Structure 1
Amino acid sequence: MPRELSPPSGGRRRAAVAAVLAAVAGLLALAPGVARADGGLVSADPPAGAVLTAAPAEVTLDLDAGVDEGQSHVAVLDAASRRVTDAEPIRAGSSRLRLPLRVDAPGDYTVAYHVTFADGTAVTGAHRFSVGTGVAPAPLDDAARRASTDVVVDAHGHGIDGFSAFLLFVDGAVVAAVLALLWLRPRGGRAMVLRVDESRT
C-alpha cells in the first residue's frame, strides 16, 4: 500500500538555513586575513629614509591596532637581501612590535614586515634606512619592495594546515547537502509529497 512521505517542516528548513550560515562562518574564520584598508602602520624606528651614524639595536613598528604576535613577521635585510637576524618580533604592549638586531657593516638596510592584527586583517610593507654611509638609502621601487616583502610573506606563509583543510572540506560538504535540501523544498507554498509503494518492498 502506498505511503505518503511529507517533506521537512518549516522548522527543519530554518535549521537547514542555520546550518548553512554556520558553515559559511566557519569558512570565513579559516580564510586568510584581508588587507587592512587604513594602512595600519603608524610609525617606525628607524623611520623610512633615516640616515644613521650608528647601528640601531632594534627595529620597532607602531601599529594602529592590536597585533597578533604569532602571525606577524618582521625582517631586516642587507643590500644583498640577506637577513641580518633570524629573530622573530616581540610584541611590546598591544600594538608595537620590536625586532632586536645587530648590524655590523655600513650600508642600506630594508625593513620588511607582514603584520596580522587581532581582527584578522593584515598589512604588508617595507622601507629602508642607511647606517654609516652619510647618505640617504636608495629608494625602494616596486620590484624591490615586492622582493623584500616576499621574504616575510613566503617564508612564514599562513597556509591552511591539514586539520583546517579537513574542516574546510566538511564545511563544504555541509553547505552542498543543505543547499540540495533547500533546492528540493516545496515551491509556491504547496506541499511536496513522496509516495512509497510498500507492497514492492
Structure 2
Amino acid sequence: MWARLRLSSLFGLTCGLLWLCPAAGSTCPVYQTLLCQLKNMAKKDFLKAFMTDQGLNSPHLNETCTGSSDFPVTETLKDLPPVTFLQTVSQTVRLIEQKLNEPVFKRMHIYLQGIDNNVCCMLQALLPAPAACPAPASRRTLSPTPTVGSFSWKLERCKIIQSYQRFMEAVGKVLETWGASPGQRNRKRRSLLNVLLGQRRKVRAG
C-alpha cells in the first residue's frame, strides 16, 4: 500500500492524491497521473508563507530575498533527455532538503519527498526501458549557517526557497511540453516521419 498525503489543491481532485513512500512490492500510479501531479506540484508556493511567518513580508525585503540561483534554468532543462531531466529534478530536490534542514521546514520536506517519489515512479515508467531511481546522494558538507531565527538566517533561507521555486517553475514549463509519456511522444515523432517519407515515395513513384 501507499501512504497518502491529503492535499486541498485542485490537482488533488483532478489527478488523484500525492503518493508517498512506496512499500515493497507495490506499484506506482499510471504515468499520466504522475505527470499531472508533478506539473501541479511544481506550482506550490512556499515562499509567501515563509516570508509572512518570519516577518519578511515587505517590499524592500522582497527584493533582498532575490538572489542568484545555482539551479538549472528552463533553457538548460528543456534540452536534457527525459531520464537526465528527471534525475536532475531529483538531485536538486534532495539538495534543497539538505539546505533546509530545520524543523520549521518539516511540511516542505514531506512535499519534496513526494516530488522525489513521483520522479522515481516516472523514471520506472519511461520507455523503451525503465530507468532506475537515482541512488541516494552522499550528504554534502554545508557551510555554517546563521543562528536559527536570526535576521541573516531568515534572509538566507528566503533566498534558498525562492531559488527552489524558480527551478520548479522551469521544471513545470518543461513538463508542459511532454506528452502522455516521453516514449509515446517519441513514437509519434517517428510515425510522422514515416508518413512524410511515404508521401515522398508516392510523389517519386507518380
Report the TM-score when normalising by structure 2: 0.23
Higher helix share: 2
Report the TM-score when normalising by structure 1: 0.24
Higher strand share: 1
